[in-house]
Homo-oligomer: A and B are copies of this chain.
């Protein structure tokens, strides 16, 4: 991921309504939410939210799909992952020992749930 692309994504998330919108969409994965319903949930006018959603879409953090009368928005977790990776690689860059604790602290966030039998 390029620096420029990262700035676009970070800027898209760096606004209260948009961050809230993105978080809400993440919570509604993989179904997504129609624009109008999201506007109701966040209590912002539809056209205002529409502008925010277009910023998120330009940053490729959300996708939209028309479903009859509604336009359903979904979080694009793949792009989100790219951003996270970009930031953390940054952190690691050359010096894994500095980044290791950061990564380690992220583990409990998602219990691995592998087939492995634990390390005990």
Contacts and interface: CB of A to CB of B under 8 A. Distances in A.
Interface in A38-90: 77, 80-81, 83-85, 87-90
A37 interface: no
The main secondary structure of chain A at its interface with chain B is helix
Copies in the complex: 2
A118 interface: no
B4 A10 contact: no
Interface residues of A, number: 50
Given A26-B93, A29-B95, A104-B112, 10 more contacts: A3-B20, A13-B87, A14-B14, A27-B93, A88-B109, A96-B110, A97-B113, A100-B113, A103-B107, A106-B106
